Amino acid sequence: MNHERKPRIDRLIHSLGGLKLTFLLLVLLGGLVAQRAIIAQKFIYTENIPWFLELLNALGLDSPETLQVPFYLVLGLFAVNLGLSSLRMARRIGARQRGMAFLRNEEAVRALPVSEVFSAPTASGEHLVAFFKKNRFRIAVEDTGTGEARMHASRHGFGYWGVLFFHLMFLVLLVGALLSVLTRYAGSFRISPGEMFVEQRESYRNVTDAPVLFGGDRLFRLRLEEMQLSYWRPWEGKEIASTVRVFGSDGAFLGHKRIAVNSPLSIGDMNIYQGGDRGFVAEIEAVDPVGTKARGSLAFRMPKKPGQDLVSRATLPGTTMELEFRLFTEQLGKIEGLEELGAQHMATLMKVATVQEQQATFRGVVFLGGTLAIEGITLRLLGLKPYTSFVAVRDYGVPVIFGGFAVLVIGLVITYFWVPEHYWAVIRREQDKDLVVIGAATEKFKESFRARFESEMNEIREELEKR
């Protein structure tokens, strides 16, 4: 029964690990990825929809979730295919190593790419064994019983497995990518000095969909202590960094940490990166004619180009009135490199305009702590504080992907620095001396190997003659 089952298993491994299936799965995976990528950019085309989007719409493939099951199925089959193809390759490498280890007769040794024949004193076989051991060869010796001894010596046999590491690299990268798809979770948030951020899905301003695996909230907390924002000169950024106090999910204080653009903060399986969004948050209050109050905040992002204003727009609650706010604040002068800009504004104020049909009409200025009346609604500027942004990312696939590149480096090192070498020798007794026939073979760097082989043979002959 076992003998009948083995060919079936071999055929299954051959089919699922074959190159034809690899090519087919690559084509299918490319199509599925293209569909998801095109749909992800669909919002770009508001007019004159291109033909490929119209085709996807006509086929009912206008959502990334439409082919989600086939996508994961193809990824899973691809992982199986790469795993079984690696198994097939491992079998071939093992069979090749065993085939190279066979002892050869004199005729076969003479026919090798490089070979040498010379006469030596008796007991030369012992000297050959000592020479190969000194050079870290693995040796097999057989006495035929007819006055002839055969020998095989090999080293760097691990070099045969270098090509397998390339297969394993693709397998590890695919597993890492699949794990990343299933576990990646990212969200952005912004806070001001003195504010606390509690990690949970509801706390993010923008957040990805909940991951399939490991999707629970981590509930750690960050309190922003200080922002380090500096410029070489106005609008040419020098540094964005933050100092935070970190608390665990149990409320335990974990210490002060500094987060910079190239220096993220790691809390368990989460990485917190310094974001590029920074500016000021203005707290405003709106009071209607009957005394109803509404409070909110306006974010003014730091402009990227000289001469641009800090602008924000908002629609007052319960109305259709859209307002445009332009912020002018002396707090700019507190940022290293922007001192001259702060000197231009001796007080914090906002210029307010109403917006109709994309046309802004100036309606007045409101100072910090002051008020401005517009069409029966009174606006009050309550406060102003800087803010900075952060991005929290959790992705279990990233270390696996880096592991895939490590496997690639290992494969390259093995392939180029562990080149397998095989030596065969036949020693035949002839009266009072030995006839020594030595041959060798390698797969790479054959010219340099030939020169080294000749040097080694000269060394062996010289040592035998000294005996």
Q: What is the mean pLDDT of each run of 10 residues along the chain (467 residues)?
A: 66 81 84 72 56 73 75 85 86 86 90 88 80 89 84 89 85 85 89 95 90 89 93 81 94 93 91 92 92 91 82 86 92 85 80 90 93 92 94 92 91 88 90 87 87 88 74
Where do we find the tokens 């597993």?
175
Q: How far apart are CA 189 and CA 222, in angstroms?
A: 11
CA distances from 437 to 122, 138, 249, 428, 457 (A): 14, 19, 74, 8, 11
Q: Return the exposure string of 290-303: e unless at least 16 CB atoms fall within 10 Å of the residue's CB, then b.
A: eeeeeeeebbbbbe
The pLDDT value recorded for residue 378 is 93
Element (H, E) at 133: helix 124-134
- Residue 309's SS3 state is coil
Comparing CA positions, the residue from 330, 322, 318, 332 lying closest to residue 298 is 322
> From CA 67, how far away is CA 242, in angstroms rounded?
42
CA-based nearest residue to 179, from 335, 443, 394: 394
Q: Which tokens hold the place of 89?
A: 């390759």
Q: Which residues pair with 391 in a beta bridge?
A: 188, 273
Q: Are strands 433-442 and 421-430 parallel, antiparallel or unpaired?
A: antiparallel
The domain locations on the chain are 2-96, 108-156+419-466, 166-277+391-407, 279-386
Residue 73, φ and ψ in degrees, nearest 5? -65, -45
Whole-number Å distance between alpha carbons of 87 and 14 = 10
Q: Sign (positive/negative) of CA torsion 221, 225, 230, 236? A: positive
Residue 68 φ then ψ, to 5°: -65, -45
The Cα–Cα gap between 20 and 22 comes to 5
User: What pLDDT does residue 1 have?
Assistant: 47
Question: DSSP class of residue 305?
Answer: S
Structure token pair of residue 248 = 């665990």
| Helices and strands counted in the chain (H then E) | 10, 20
Cα–Cα separations (whole angstroms), residue 398 to 170, 178, 347: 14, 10, 48
Could you tell me which of 267, 264, 300 has the C-alpha nearest to residue 391?
A: 264
Interatomic CA distance for residues 59 and 53, integer angstroms: 10
Predicted pLDDT at 83: 85
**What's residue 177's pLDDT?**
82
Angstrom distance (rounded) from CA 440 to CA 373: 96
Query: Quick one: tokens of 377?
Result: 């609604």
The residue whose two tokens read 């948030």 is: 189
Residue 395: which of 270, 309, 251, 285 has the closest Cα?
270
Phi first, then psi: give them for residue 225, nearest 5 degrees.
-95, -45
Please report where in the chains the tokens 């707090």 appear, as a residue: 331
CATH architecture, range 108-156+419-466 = 2-Layer Sandwich (3.30)
The burial of 462, by beta-carbon neighbours within 10 Å (0-12 exposed, 13-18 middle, 19 or more buried), is given as: exposed
Cβ-contact 453, 114 below 8 angstroms: yes
Give the three-state DSSP class for 445. Answer: coil
